[in-house]
Amino acid sequence: MIDQESFMADNLHEECGVFGVYDNGDGLDVSRLTYYGLYALQHRGQESCGIAVNNRSDDGNIQIIQYKDMGLVQEVFNELVLKELNGFAAVGHVRYTTAGASRRENAQPLVSRYQKGSFALAHNGNLVDIDRLRKNLEEQGAIFQTTNDSEIIAQLMAKERIRTGSMPLAMQKVMGEISGAYSLVIMTPHRMIAARDPQGFRPLCIGKIKNSWVFASETCALDAVGAEYVRDVDPGEIVVADNDGLHSYTEMCGNKSSLCIFEYIYFARPDSVIDGQSVHRARLNAGRFLAKESPADADVVIGVPDSGLDAALGYSYESGIPYGVGFIKNRYIGRTFIQPTQAEREAALRIKLNAMREAVARKRVIMVDDSIVRGTTCGRIVKLLRDAGAKEVHVRISSPPFLNPCYFGTDIDNRKNLIACRMSFEETQKKIGCDSLAYLSIDAMHKLVPGCRLGHCDACFTGNYPVYVPEEN
């Protein structure tokens, strides 16, 4: 068995998911819809979550009220909290830390109150060169309440809104000042704004419920609230929802797009569609390519939950080797980082990954996983299969080796901790303890979503960063 602490230490995490609802006269329960949307996006962040709503008081004034805390969506919100979050618009956020400490004050949405009023902001991604941006703002008198880079965007938005005539114009100005990954949902007293960075690193889509508008990181969240998918927000586009409908500003569009390829390999839910391409289909393709590039004589193909399952199925389809359920993952223990003592954390962190002895005993096994970061977890999973009686274990990875850190919202570590940078291929195979090891080729990775209209960022594999990044320490 593998405890969660060990399992999570060598698995990748994406920073967050965003969700927003603007009720255009349909009488929607926006806080509950946001709760359902965040539930569907829980895989994108498990450390903290929050919801902010536009509430209209009896005297007609509009104020933003919010609730956020550390923990999973079902841990933070209950019926009483949701009933208190009454409003006609809502924005929500789930977070995993890649920039800024794991503390309650860094939970989102961020609510900013300034000279022109107030707004709530939810951000998915990471900015680059945040130290310079933060220093410049502090020298101009800005006071920061958090350590995450999302507050830099909020500070810049407030500053530019004071100087310009509208929030969309302020957003355009800010987009010219910052670089990196940012899919944003911003709620003001009278409208909702969605924006995506000019490279389109992170996904963001638009849905509709009757006459009302929904924004989400993935289409699976639209499905969860019964919204009809309309389209994706284009890279560099600013979309505004208000009582007059939907408005698009495309002045910042036109750059070469660089959607993170790992959205298809790992991050997104398999039932999501990103920029017109099925995540499930992309992972099936990864498995098919693996089977062609790296065949093995075996009795069964299994996948490591969760993102390795579809790739394993694709490998099985292509190779003709039967697919089997090789592991059971315990899904019923909540987050435990908020436990007060290390002993309690360790006791609560025993979310187990258990091998199915009946599926692997006395068999030659092909084990498909999405990636190898530091190598520790993969080696322990191989040992699980050995202990369950597997005769051979052939590891197939549905992505190329990680050779470079990510600066755009993924916690891919610096090079000294990446096993592909520290060890040769032969050393990696020996450390993991498998009979054979193979990665998906870069050429095959570029073919996973052949119909995608966007280019992709593959810098963590190739070192080809689409924008300037700071030198690694």
* Residue entry with tokens 């310079």: 132
Annotated catalytic residue 378: no
Collapsed DSSP state (helix, strand, coil) of residue 386: helix
Q: Please say whether the beta carbons of 242 and 194 come within 8 A.
A: no
Q: Please say whether the beta carbons of 94 and 45 come within 8 A.
A: yes
Looking at 16, 378, 406, 457, which residue is catalytic?
A: 16
* Residue entry with tokens 């322990």: 380
135: burial class by Cβ within 10 Å (0-12, 13-18, 19+)? Answer: exposed
CA atoms within 13 A on the CB side of 421: 17
Collapsed DSSP state (helix, strand, coil) of residue 139: helix
C-alpha dihedral (420, 421, 423, 424), degrees to nearest 10: 70
CB under 8 Å to 456, separation ≥6 — which residues? 258, 259, 260, 261, 446
* Residue entry with tokens 């929607």: 28
Tens place of pLDDT per residue across the chain (473 aa): 444 444 344 555 456 999 999 999 999 999 999 999 999 999 999 899 999 999 888 787 899 999 999 999 999 999 999 999 999 999 999 987 544 445 677 899 999 999 889 999 999 999 998 888 888 888 887 778 877 889 999 999 999 999 998 999 999 999 999 999 999 999 999 999 999 999 999 999 999 999 999 999 999 999 999 999 999 999 999 999 999 999 999 999 988 899 999 999 999 999 999 999 999 999 999 999 999 999 999 999 999 998 899 999 999 999 999 999 999 887 765 444 334 443 443 333 335 688 999 999 999 999 999 999 888 888 889 999 999 999 999 999 999 999 998 888 777 767 888 999 999 999 999 999 999 999 999 999 999 999 888 999 999 999 999 998 876 64
Q: Please say whether the beta carbons of 33 and 21 come within 8 A.
A: yes
CA–CA distance, 222 with 214 (Å, rounded to integer):
7
CA–CA distance, 183 with 121 (Å, rounded to integer):
10
* Residue entry with tokens 């299994």: 302
Q: What pLDDT was estimated at residue 449?
A: 95
Q: Please say whether the beta carbons of 210 and 26 come within 8 A.
A: yes
Domains identified in the chain and CATH numbers: 13-257 (3.60.20.10), 273-462 (3.40.50.2020)
Q: What pLDDT was estimated at residue 1?
A: 43
CA–CA distance, 325 with 367 (Å, rounded to integer):
11
What are the angstrom distances between the C-alpha of 415 and each of 156, 201, 261, 423, 473? Answer: 32, 21, 19, 11, 10
Return the structure tokens found at 223.
Answer: 């499905």
181: burial class by Cβ within 10 Å (0-12, 13-18, 19+)? Answer: buried
Return the structure tokens found at 67.
Answer: 């609730």
The pTM (predicted TM-score) of the whole model is 0.91
Q: What pLDDT was estimated at residue 102?
A: 54
Q: Give yes or no for a cis peptide into 168 (omega within 30° of 0).
A: no
CA–CA distance, 311 with 291 (Å, rounded to integer):
10
Collapsed DSSP state (helix, strand, coil) of residue 72: coil
CA-nearest of 15, 453, 469, 13 to 258 is 453
Which amino acid appears at position 32 of this protein?
R
Q: What pLDDT was estimated at residue 136?
A: 86
| Pairing label, strands 436-439, 456-457 | unpaired
Q: What pLDDT was estimated at residue 104?
A: 76
List the beta bridge partners of residue 228. 208
Q: What is the DSSP letter of 424?
A: -
Q: What pLDDT was estimated at residue 105?
A: 74
CA–CA distance, 469 with 465 (Å, rounded to integer):
7
The Cβ of residue 383 has, within 10 Å, a number of other Cβ atoms equal to: 16
In sign, the C-alpha dihedral spanning 119, 122, 128, 132 is positive
CA–CA distance, 181 with 434 (Å, rounded to integer):
37
Q: Please say whether the beta carbons of 98 and 267 come within 8 A.
A: no
Instruction: Using only the alpha carbons of the chain, give its radius of gyration.
Output: 23
List the beta bridge partners of residue 195. 184, 238
Q: What pLDDT was estimated at residue 2?
A: 44
Q: What pLDDT was estimated at residue 452?
A: 86
CA–CA distance, 88 with 107 (Å, rounded to integer):
22
Q: What pLDDT was estimated at residue 95?
A: 87
Quickly list DSSP for 350-383: ---EEE-HHHHTTSEEEEEES--SSSHHHHHHHH
